[in-house]
Copies of this chain bind each other. A is one copy, B any other.
Amino acid sequence: MIIVMKKGADKEALAEVKRRIRELGYKPHVIHGETRNVVGAVGDERGKTVLQALESLPGVETVLPILKPYKLASLEVKPDPSQVEIAPGLTVGGDRLVVMAGPCSVESEEQILETARSVKAAGAQILRGGAFKPRTSPYSFQGLEEDGLRLLVRAREETGLPIVTEVVNPRDVELVSRYADIMQVGARNIQNFALLKMLGQLDKPVLLKRGMATTIQEFLMSAEYVLAEGNRRVMLCERGIRTFETATRNTLDISAVPVLKAQTHLPVIVDPSHATGHAPLVPSMCFAAVAAGCDGLIVEVHPHPEMAVSDGPQSLRPNEFEAMMKKLREYAAVAGKKI
């Protein structure tokens, strides 16, 4: 932490700041500037947020954090990329580009089986599908819940594809984990710390979706919640942030991919479906994400988007998905990955 004193702050103010820094277990180090003084607080970084309260002392202008607040998620602690095993022979974070695909919501046996078969045929390695749906409106379809999970398992039995599905309530963690291969935390729950802590105690991979207004640093802090509880199989997913632009549902923050890669060892997935909200934009954003260096994609596919109970406009049809995958293989090859 760097504590910047006000211009003209007196000696007493400076002495008090130094006293408090020591009291909190850090060593103060003063730089005497031309117009004002600056105090560094030297010591172990964790828990330093309490130093922020020094801003309330007289004579203090501002308190600037210097160090990143996460630890287990950082490359400093673990410099080599994490490889998250999903199933025997299927690992995210290595030289493979992993594609997860499927409908927004599980709607019926026919719908999920038809989708699972087609995405598998096109090269997807994991099936996505929502059984518990966090919907903005209480009057919208809320998901088939456990019935939906059972249908996903039906699809896995038939296709062999592992399944990723969302959990929204800490109470359901145990239930969902009995069916799912990957536990997904949606954008709206990225700071649902009760949920994150429970997932941290699970022996199951977790896919964390960045929230609409979550900074990259906060995103990594949410990952830290899971890691700190002992579960190291964490994947991060960029899915668009909320900005002023309305041409797309959200704004895909594509540079989050290299920024995350420079700060963390965790695999990075991109979700171009939620980021854009419009199916015609999805293929080029898949290509861009791979070129940016991501480890995987999660893409919405629906056999009849115009009939979908949720997210129809952003769902690819099976033939569109297949065409996208074909081109994707070429981009993945240039990026040094195979699908």
Contact = CB atoms under 8 A, between A and B. Distances in A.
Interface of A: 2, 4, 7, 20, 29, 31-36, 38, 40, 42-47, 49-50, 52-57, 63-64, 66-67, 69-70, 76, 134-140, 168-171, 188-189, 191-194, 197, 211-213, 215-218, 221, 224-225, 228, 241-248, 251-259, 262, 275-276, 278-281, 284-285, 287-293, 305-310, 312-313, 315, 327, 330-331, 334-335
B245 A246 contact: no
B281 A255 contact: yes
5 contacts: A49-B137, A56-B279, A136-B191, A255-B281, A258-B285
B289 A53 contact: no
Contacts of A310: 49
A52 B221 contact: no
Contacts of A33: 40, 42
How many subunits of this chain does the assembly comprise? 4
Contacts of A254: 252, 254, 285, 288
Contacts of A57: 306
Contacts of A290: 291
Contact of A291 (B135, B193, B291): B291
A169 B168 contact: no
B247 A251 contact: no
A24 to B, nearest CB: 10
A46 B141 CA distance: 12
A257 B50 CA distance: 29
A256 B254 CA distance: 12
A-B pairs, top 8 by smallest CB distance, nearest first, are A53-B312, A213-B213, A56-B305, A287-B291, A169-B194, A291-B291, A188-B191, A55-B313
Contacts of A224: 137-138
Given A64-B2, A140-B49, A305-B53, A193 B168 contact: yes
B42 A247 contact: no
A82 B193 CA distance: 33
A136 to B, nearest CB: 5
Contacts of A191: 134, 136, 188
Given A38-B66, A53-B308, A224-B137, A258 B242 contact: no
A128 to B, nearest CB: 18
